[in-house]
Chains A and B, each alone.
Chain A
């Protein structure tokens, strides 16, 4: 039987790892839930941001907290450009899957051409910093990631609930024609939301550069689990995405501690199936 210390440490690791799932799921959940566009290229954008963070950090010695100021606006612009394509070619939900998949493949090839297929690691002296709380260790970078994900999720939730723009977005997602009758310009709001989603990919990418290994094929490594997180957290629900990310992260980690690490992927999808069957009324 695993000790309480092992279980506690696994829980901490899992919740913090879930922060990354939640952060990646945030932009995807917004575009899927409120724009009805399934953006597979979200992962590729996050990795592009990660590679840019790596490049700025290793070649130009720019600290990630400065590079994020350049990367996030750039991603916002890419999000706008991407949405222009969706509008220009009248892309629907299914079509968005194909187009964004193609876009992701193109980005993967581009990344491989420039940075090669070799593994890249952004080594920093603070990558292994930890805080000690009793018998437990809390990795600092992952903790910051979780806090940032929490702030973004709360901020987005408040934005959608309390502001006119947010309410208009939700109304458009509910019924675009009725919303338009009340003067909501759905097209402009959709551009804004698409930009925000891509900007969140930029934030996630900066953290990916700091805590993960970079290789072009890794773009697809997060796809399954993040989709599960988006579905569990309910489409268009930022707090749900974060909570679901932490739930999946914690479940995987506890499975690694009690059973075998090889069971972790099974656990995340088992949670997804269980929740889909249970169909709880949270939103």
Chain B
């Protein structure tokens, strides 16, 4: 009897072990590598030309996401292959390359390029061939009139109205709210669009704009502009800058022994501005930073770590994930959920799925049921504090212990 009990126990222990092993192994088996003919996703990025410094960020994010998708189930069980071409930062080249991707390379799906002008060029081609196009950097949503174009970044349909009010709310929360504002902007379309919105909204809320200046994208000398900003001597400086223009403007102001009382920078190069002595307490726009509460979103910590590793290896001066890289991550997340949700590679079915469903992205849940296929806006404010960017506004997105500093 004792022997039989022992044998029974052994059998049950063995069965338990086998069962546990099977349960633990099951996800791995279910996650068997995708197989079959690859699903080819074509797209361009500005790998050379004046937008190249941003494209390299998008390229790294894409590589991470394609590997990530293929480590799960690919698209409908098939591996994903990214066919990437260089549009040289030129919309006309982007247009030709999307034509080539669709008609010659015969890719199954497409991904959007970077920046408003190449996106508009690619969108025209996508519309002609009835392809879904997902983009992350069209700063002027009203130009996205194609009904199968989807935004991967939550600008909202009217960021020129909504985001200035986020900034004005933050300004109003300061112990001494600024009463006047100089607006200085690049003529780069998305920056100019936001600057014009900022002027209108500021004046609506009683903040005077004694000086509004536009300069050519790629302006070389900011000396005279700095002299005008200094003479206007407003309570706040709003800069519609791209890349290192913010650093150049702040340096030009310091050469005139002038430091603005507060400043906002639209699309600056994040690393150089954070590390510059002139950048301390500067504000900027963002959608996500490598901090809480964003890092608690599912999968974000893993993507952020992979991005840091690859960006460091690629010798990028600012290897932390931010809204630029996150935009491309979001593009792939939307496409993956669109394809797998629709259970089809047919563009019309993918578009129909995206319009009816909420998609979980690095930016949180996104909907595409509003004007220009946009959902609710989620543009935030970050501030340089101790040479790091911290999300400070709206308050609920600030990490514990972080607040907007005057």
- A interface list, Cβ under 8 A from B: 2-3, 5-6, 9-10, 12-14, 16-17, 108-109, 112, 115-121, 123, 127-130, 132, 137, 139, 212-213, 215-218, 221-222, 249, 252-254, 256-257, 260-262, 264-265
> B215 in the interface, Cβ–Cβ < 8 Å?
yes
Contacts of B214 in A (CB 8 A): 260-262
Residues of A within 8 A of B56 (CB): 116-118
Count of A-B contacts with CB under 8 A? Answer: 130
Assuming A109-B48, A261-B215, is B220 touching A222 (CB within 8 A)?
yes
Which 3 pairs show the lowest CB-CB distances between chains A and B? A13-B223, A117-B52, A261-B215
When distances are taken between beta carbons in the complex, the residues of chain B under 8 Å from A5 are: 227, 231
User: Does B216 contact A261, Cβ atoms closer than 8 Å?
Assistant: yes
Are B219 and A261 in contact, with the CB atoms below 8 A?
Answer: yes
Point out the residues of chain A lying under 8 angstroms from B219, CB to CB: 261, 264
Task: Please give me the residue from chain B that is nearest to A263 by CB atom.
Answer: B216
User: Considering the chains assembled together, what is the distance between the CA atoms of A221 and B55 in angstroms?
Assistant: 19
Known contacts A13-B227, A116-B314, A218-B218, then 9 further A-B pairs from the complex at CB < 8 Å, ordered by chain A residue: A3-B231, A6-B231, A10-B223, A14-B223, A215-B53, A217-B49, A221-B220, A256-B228, A262-B214
Bound-state Cα–Cα, A254 to B272, Å: 29
Question: Are the CB atoms of B223 and A116 closer together than 8 Å?
Answer: no
A137 contacts across to B, CB distance below 8 A = 255-257
CB pair B221–A13 under 8 Å, yes or no, is yes
Provide a sorted-by-A list of 8 A–B residue pairs whose CB atoms are within 8 angstroms: A5-B231, A6-B231, A9-B227, A10-B227, A121-B247, A128-B254, A216-B48, A256-B215
- B118 proximal to A (CB < 8 A): no
- Inter-chain contacts of A256 with B (CB < 8 A): 215, 224-225, 228
A16: nearest residue on chain B (CB-CB)?
Answer: B223
Give Cα distance in the complex from A16 to B214, angstroms: 22
- Which of B47, B48, B213, B247 lies in contact with A261, CB distance below 8 A? B213
Q: How far is the CA of A182 from the CA of B1 in the complex (A)?
A: 125
CA of A260 to CA of B253, assembled, Å: 18
Q: Is the CB of A119 within 8 A of B231?
A: no
Size of interface on B: residues with Cβ below 8 Å to A: 44
Say if the beta carbon of B244 comes within 8 Å of chain A: yes
For residues 184 through 218 of chain B, which have their beta carbon under 8 Å from a beta carbon of chain A? 187, 213-216, 218
Chain A residues closer than 8 Å to B55, beta-carbon distance: 117
Binary flags per residue of B116-145, CB closer than 8 Å to A gives 1, else 0: 000000000000000000000000000000
**Given A119, A222, A249, A254, which contacts B53 in the complex, CB threshold below 8 Å?**
A119
Contact between chains at A262 and B269 (CB < 8 Å): no
Alpha-carbon separation in the docked complex, A212 to B220 (Å): 8
Task: Decide if B215 touches A262 in the complex (CB within 8 Å).
Answer: yes
Q: Which residues of A contact B278 (CB under 8 A)?
A: 128
Interface of A is mostly: helix
- Looking at the complex, which one of A112, A116, A127, A253 makes contact with B316 (CB distance below 8 Å)? A116
Given contacts A118-B316, A118-B317, contact A257 B50 (CB under 8 A): no
Closest beta carbon of chain B to A36's beta carbon, Å: 29
Contact partners of B73 in chain A: CB under 8 A: none
On whether A119 and B223 interact (CB within 8 A), knowing A6-B231, A130-B255, A260-B214, the answer reads: no
B89: interface (CB < 8 Å):
yes
Name A264's contact: one of B48, B216, B247, B269 (CB within 8 Å). B216
B243 within 8 A of A: yes
Contact between B52 and A17 (Cβ–Cβ < 8 Å)? no
| Cα separation A9 to B254 with both chains bound (whole Å) | 14
What is the distance, in angstroms, from B311's C-beta to the closest C-beta of chain A? 10
Report B5-19 residues with CB < 8 Å from chain A CB. Answer: none
Tell whether B344 is near chain A: CB-to-CB under 8 Å: no
Smallest Cβ-Cβ distance to B254: which chain A residue:
A128
| B87: interface (CB < 8 Å) | no
- Give which listed residue, B223, B225, B248, contacts A139 with CB less than 8 A: B223
Do B314 and A213 touch across chains, with their CB atoms under 8 A apart? no
Q: What are the residues of chain B within 8 A of A2 when measuring CB–CB? A: 228, 231
Give B220 Cβ to nearest chain A Cβ, in Å. 7
B103 within 8 A of A: no
Chain A residue contacts of B256, Cβ below 8 A: 9, 130, 137
Given A109-B48, A116-B315, A216-B52, CB of A132 within 8 Å of CB of B231: no
Q: With the chains together, A81 CA to B317 CA distance in Å? A: 33
A118 to B46, CA, bound (A): 12
* B218 pairs with A221, CB closer than 8 A: yes
Query: What separation, in Å, do the CA atoms of A108 and B89 have in the docked complex?
Result: 15
Interface flag for B276 (CB, 8 Å): yes
Chain B min CB distance to A115 (Å): 8
* B221 & A215 in contact (Cβ 8 Å cutoff): no
Within B327-346, which residues are at the interface with A (CB < 8 Å)? none
